[in-house]
Amino acid sequence: MKFIKGMIMGTIISAGVVMMYNESMNNSKKKMVKMGKQMVKKLGII
């Protein structure tokens, strides 16, 4: 069970990093900050 939870966490984190990287390439820092805050909330819930 912990392994599966770890896999899900890793997937979410890597997806978030990719999304934030794509946002920074578009030079929209406000969106990137908003995404970062959403990620923190999601990680806090899980």
- Cα separation, 21 vs 6, whole angstroms: 22
Structural tokens at position 45: 């819930």
pLDDT at 29 (0 to 100): 62
pLDDT at 18 (0 to 100): 81
User: Domain locations in the chain?
Assistant: 2-45
Per-residue pLDDT of the chain (46 residues; tens, 9 = 90+): 788 888 888 888 888 788 777 766 665 666 667 777 787 777 776 5
pLDDT at 9 (0 to 100): 84
Q: Which residues contact 36 (CB under 8 A, 6 or more apart)?
A: 16, 20
pLDDT at 28 (0 to 100): 60
pTM of the entire predicted model: 0.42
pLDDT at 33 (0 to 100): 73
Contacts 24+ apart (CB under 8 A), 1-7: 5/46
